[in-house]
Structure 1
Amino acid sequence: MPQADHYEQQYLDLMRRIWTEGHTRTDRTGVGTRALFGASMRFSLADDAVPLLTTKRVYWKAAAREMLWFLTGDTNIRALVAQGVHIWTDWPLDTYRRATGEQISRDDFEARIVADEGFAARWGDLGPVYGAQWVNWPRYEPAGEGEGLYRRASQGHNQIAALVEGIRSNPGSRRLLFTGWNVDEVDSMALPPCHMTYQFHVADGKLSGLLFQRSADFVLGVPFNIFALAMLTRMLAQQCDLKAGEIVWQGGDVHLYLNHAELVEAQLARTPAGAPKLRITRKPLSMFDYAIEDFEVVDYSPQAHIAAPVAV
């Protein structure tokens, strides 16, 4: 039976508000959006709850594989494509087509990425996106005796490892956060970080997580981002021997693309129901030792998937 106070209702209410009240704007992609500035949602993680949308299918394993990929620090799509995850392919594919003039299909491009390591190194790298900043933020050290001479250190700051240590040793800190917005390297990224800053809070033996997302594609990106925030918060809580509290999602430019009109209307016509749970089946040695097999979602019976084009 539908639940009047279902956690997903706030998502649908915000979607309706963006669509009916949002400002029509031009954007980087040329597609155009309706957008609001500043929005938030809160979801409880109590009793293994996970805020997966039920009015359409969210392919949570793709989001989980992406999160695990971020934690490796890898920035090449090859590892993702080899696992059947296509969410980052459009950017390097677009670059390849523009550079070579070859109108290669996505399937053929991905096949070459997987089969040819050299091709992947040339065309599959995204620049210093997310994971590179999360676990290897550039650090500089003195280079010789000359004053003011520095060189980039072979190992940068691991923000995730520092975060875990901070939660364990100083849970009352207001500095339990990490970010992907490295001003000096933004222009080198295939796409600057949309979900850019994460902050965590410990109270009453529970860990809660907050995400600030500067740019929020409400149809395609946000459902993945909410799940990934819940997953990451649960992982951190487990590693720090805490319970999971809640997650808070905050968006800056929160938008719906104009070419998603039929999809938005279809989803708004649906009623959410159900209470899926996310379970972690073992406790690895560290944040960097989780595998996709360690996660399972149960009691998830969404309505049919709603496909939507990506604006590159």
Structure 2
Amino acid sequence: MTVTAVQHEEHQYLALIRRVLDTGEARPDRTGTGTLALFAPPSLHFTLAHNTLPLLTTKRTFLRGIVEELLWFVRGSTDSKLLSEKGVKIWDGNGSREFLEGRGLGHRREGDLGPVGLGVDQLEECIRKIRENPTDRRIILSAWNPKDIPQMALPPCHMLCQFYVSLPPPGAPEGTKPKLSCLMYQRSADLGLGIPFNIASYALLTHMIARVTDTDAHELIIQLGDAHVYKDHVDALEEQLKREPRPFPKLVWRREDVGRKGIEDFEYADFGVEGYEPHPSIAMKMSV
């Protein structure tokens, strides 16, 4: 089953890739791979209503890796080996001995990424504000702490997000819940490998916070800074662009009381996905 361009939000992502491939500026980069890039493209909007999960369908997305990484962030961990031991290797390159020494962090234990997480205290403060003062304009998570940047194996790409609570209008039916939206800013966006992860991760985080705060997840908006395609991803993305998106899946909580004890109550086994029928995977190399 396919969905038309007007209906399917994945076309925003595909159109951005097409634009970068056609008009992007050729630029050198930290990894030495080379990129095609645009700065500050139009924001991407994804509905989260009715438990929708924007898990991209034009190639299979590694859901277990996304969930395990998100739970790792939520718990404030900076040890990439904890993920690697679970078969999630996405941070191995940035935590390797060679990479750390190249960053002047050779004194660090292999796998120690430094202060790269969002921070549990910030997350708990956002949850408190959503519950107690939902119209607050400072419901913000920031991973960008200038004094910590030199100690980070890789400064955070997705560096800030703001939550917004839309209250039920006057006369709304009894039991109508507030709607929770998330706006995320990402300074550096690897469109081939990173962005599919980031979209799903922040969608899941918003669903988790909605669960904890008894709100309804509503919308995810993502604003990118440097949006780029690595030159060794071009052929793979051209293949992906030939595919038509399929319906996004639904998120299902496998435990009835999940999240009732707080944001750290979630485990991988609690996340269920129904109706995910993507196109086959497309291999792309990660540049470190």
Provide the C-alpha distance between the structure 1 equivalents of 2:136 and 2:253, rounded to a whole number of angstroms: 26
Provide the C-alpha distance between the structure 2 equivalents of 1:165 and 1:263, rounded to a whole number of angstroms: 43
The sequence identity of aligned pairs, in percent, is 44
Whether 1:290 aligns to 2:266 is yes
The 5 A counterparts of 1:77-116 are 77-93=80-96, 95=98
Deviation at 1:92, TM superposition (A): 2.2
> What's 2:213 paired with?
240
The 5 A counterparts of 1:62-73 are 62-73=65-76
> What's 1:301 paired with?
277
Residue type matched to 2:152 in 1? Answer: M
Provide the C-alpha distance between the structure 2 equivalents of 1:202 and 1:50, rounded to a whole number of angstroms: 19
Deviation at 1:98, TM superposition (A): 6.0
1:11·1:41 contact (CA, 8 Å) conserved in 2? yes
Residue type matched to 1:229 in 2? Answer: Y
Secondary structure, aligned partner of 1:122: coil
What runs of 5+ residues in structure 2 fail to find an aligned partner?
103-107, 169-177
> What's 1:188 paired with?
151
1:199-252 CA-to-partner distances (Å, cap 9, x unmatched) read 100003100111100000011110000001110001111111111111001100
The 5 A counterparts of 1:1-312 are 1-4=1-4, 5-39=7-41, 40-93=43-96, 95=98, 122-131=109-118, 134-135=119-120, 158-203=121-166, 204=168, 205-282=178-255, 283-284=258-259, 285-312=261-288
Paired residues, number:
267
1:229·1:247 contact (CA, 8 Å) conserved in 2? yes
Provide the C-alpha distance between the structure 1 equivalents of 2:114 and 2:249, rounded to a whole number of angstroms: 35
What runs of 5+ residues in structure 1 fail to find an aligned partner?
100-120, 136-157
Deviation at 1:128, TM superposition (A): 1.0
TM-score normalised to structure 2 length: 0.89
TM-score normalised to structure 1 length: 0.83
The Cα RMSD (Å) is 1.4
Deviation at 1:74, TM superposition (A): 1.1
More helix by share: 1
Provide the C-alpha distance between the structure 2 equivalents of 1:96 and 1:187, rounded to a whole number of angstroms: 14
